[in-house]
Chains A and B, each alone.
Chain A
Amino acid sequence: MTDSAAHFDIDLASDGLLRLRAFGDWRARYLKPIDAALRDFADDSVGRDIIIDMSGVARLDTAGAMVLQRTFQACQSRTENSKFVGANDAHAELLEQIEDHLAPCHVEPFHRNAFVKMTERLGEGVVNATRAMLELWDFIGHTLVSGAKLIIRPARMRWRATVHHMEETGLDAMPIVGLMSFLIGAVIAFMGAKILRLFNAEILTVQLVGIAVLREFGVLLAAILVAGRSGSAFTAQIGSMKLREEIDAMRVLGLEPIEVLVLPRVVALIIMLPVLAFCAAMLGLVGGGLVSWLVMDIPPALFMAQFQESIGINNFYVGLIKAPFFAFAIAVIGCFQGMEVEGSAESLGQRTTLSVVQALFLVIVMDAFFAMFFLEIDY
């Protein structure tokens, strides 16, 4: 026996039979170079009788047995003449074992042509989007009804969970929200000062910072951060509970998931987002004031005086009134997407992404509507 890599030769015996002699080590690692040659040989010899001589084979594994059997079955013309010869017991046993396992398998799901697939995806997308929309409304309705029930019987509210979520979504987010809006306030002051200086109206920077931060940026920054931080966390928490069948367990134990999981999160966020928005607005003003002082020599006292004189309290109200609505949207979307998780961890990832994207989208759309609304009522 030789211990070289797998190789073979072919000759046409005098009796008209093809004779394939295999030599060497027929294990998977040696098959790549000879596979194409074996296939060509099999294609050329379809329907002919073949004898495969195994006496030169030193080692054989399932892969080697598979290619030999494949070649054998491709050639043989279903007569008694085709056979394997010279195999030792172990090799013969292996060849026999492999014999019934050569049917090709499906590798990928069935693919249609690109145009059909594209239309299919479009249709599927529309149907899914419609269904998701209806389900979301259904979910919002459920949440509101559960909320209303709690107003009637407040003892059922899970305050411990609510406070826990208030800490997680509110208090823990405070440093990053504060820092971000401080920096944004400073940037607005910088940019404003640079342009307003052209008109000799640097003092108007105070108005710019005040209105921008109070009306829009404070609440928007807080909402964007919370959507990224807490909306995704809600989806991941509820989604992984869904995957581990915890939600089903709750239902059969008579616990209402909306009441146990969703409402504490929604309430916590509705309470905390206005607080975050308030802090964000204040720190944004501090950032703007600091830049005004350091860059434009507007001392804090003058900044305050100008601020009090020119910025109405209504700007502050406009900012804060939006916060609970944003909070409701973020929390409901986060929880809804969590409930939609199904099957695998992959779906959890998709839903988490979707939850953040939808929450951000909704926050900005709602903000635009609020802006139009306040413009119309001139507030």
Chain B
Amino acid sequence: MTEASTENVIEVRGLRSQFGDHVVHDNLDLSVRRGEIIGVVGGSGTGKSVLMRSIIGLKHPDAGTVSVFGENFYKASGQIRLSIERRWGVLFQGGALFSSMTVAQNIMAPIREHLGFEGELAKDMAALKISMVGLRAEAGANYPAELSGGMKKRAGLARALALDPELVFLDEPTAGLDPIGAAKFDDLIVNLKETLGLTVFMVTHDLDTLHAACDRVAVLAEKRVIAVGPLDDVRQTDHPWIQEYFAGPRGRAALAAKAS
């Protein structure tokens, strides 16, 4: 259950995304295996978030196919789409919590909607998720506006995990967190992956997260994935951006931190 199998949960083939004349991805291929944490890195503007939005059904690909759990999401019927949507959870960059609801109500929203849980059972589930992502029980009654950035991310993760998804998308989960909070978040994700057998698709800039959490890394540049594989292999790739990214001062510091 915990080790990565060879089955692909996400398959992107020949993806082309563009906004007007501006082509973001061209002929992009990427596969994500069941049970792994894949980190997607790339410079600003290389379309990391666009790739994620293409996979979760928010940006229609201009060419190519995207399949999740073996189904082409954009061609699937409403029924199949719904069943796919129940099997994944998404953490948006700012948490994207519903501002009119408390944290607990946010987490209960998908539970009520998809599982039909009412009353105590829904509350128990919300309490469980809140505790699992490391929030205090009192935080359940807070409105999103009252939370700090790190707490918002944790609450967003709790909502993403509400339905026990098999696949979780994280958009820059550690951005804006202090180093201690970021390290805890990395541990949390690894821990959840191991206990729940999650597959995690993570867009990140954080070199420490790549070292601490990711099984594989995909590098976006030149409108496609230029390298994908375990971190140590990717680091050897002879591409100027990759060399600058991993061999720069921050890359070396993260490596040193990992080694110690």
Contacts and interface: CB of A to CB of B under 8 A. Distances in A.
Q: Which 8 A-B pairs have the closest CB atoms?
A: A105-B140, A106-B141, A101-B131, A105-B127, A107-B104, A61-B164, A105-B137, A344-B145
A344 B102 contact: no
Given A28-B164, A104-B127, A344-B99, A97 B140 contact: no
A107 B123 contact: yes
Contact of A343 (B111, B137, B145, B197): B145
A32 B117 contact: yes
Interface string A46-63: 000000000000000111
Contacts of A343: 145
A106 B164 contact: no
B6 interface: no
Nearest to B126: A105
Interface of A: 27-29, 31-32, 35, 39, 61-63, 66-67, 70, 90, 93-94, 97-98, 100-110, 343-346
B5 interface: no
Interface string B115-130: 1110011011111111
A106 B196 contact: no
A62 B137 contact: no
A94 B195 contact: yes
Contacts, number: 100
A63 B125 contact: yes
Interface in B178-207: 195-197
Given A61-B196, A103-B137, A108 B99 contact: no
A63 B127 contact: no
B9 interface: no
A108 B141 CA distance: 4
A97 B195 contact: yes
B218 interface: no
B100 interface: yes
B151 to A, nearest CB: 13
Nearest to B115: A28
B128 A106 contact: no
Contacts of B117: 28, 31-32
A345 B108 CA distance: 22
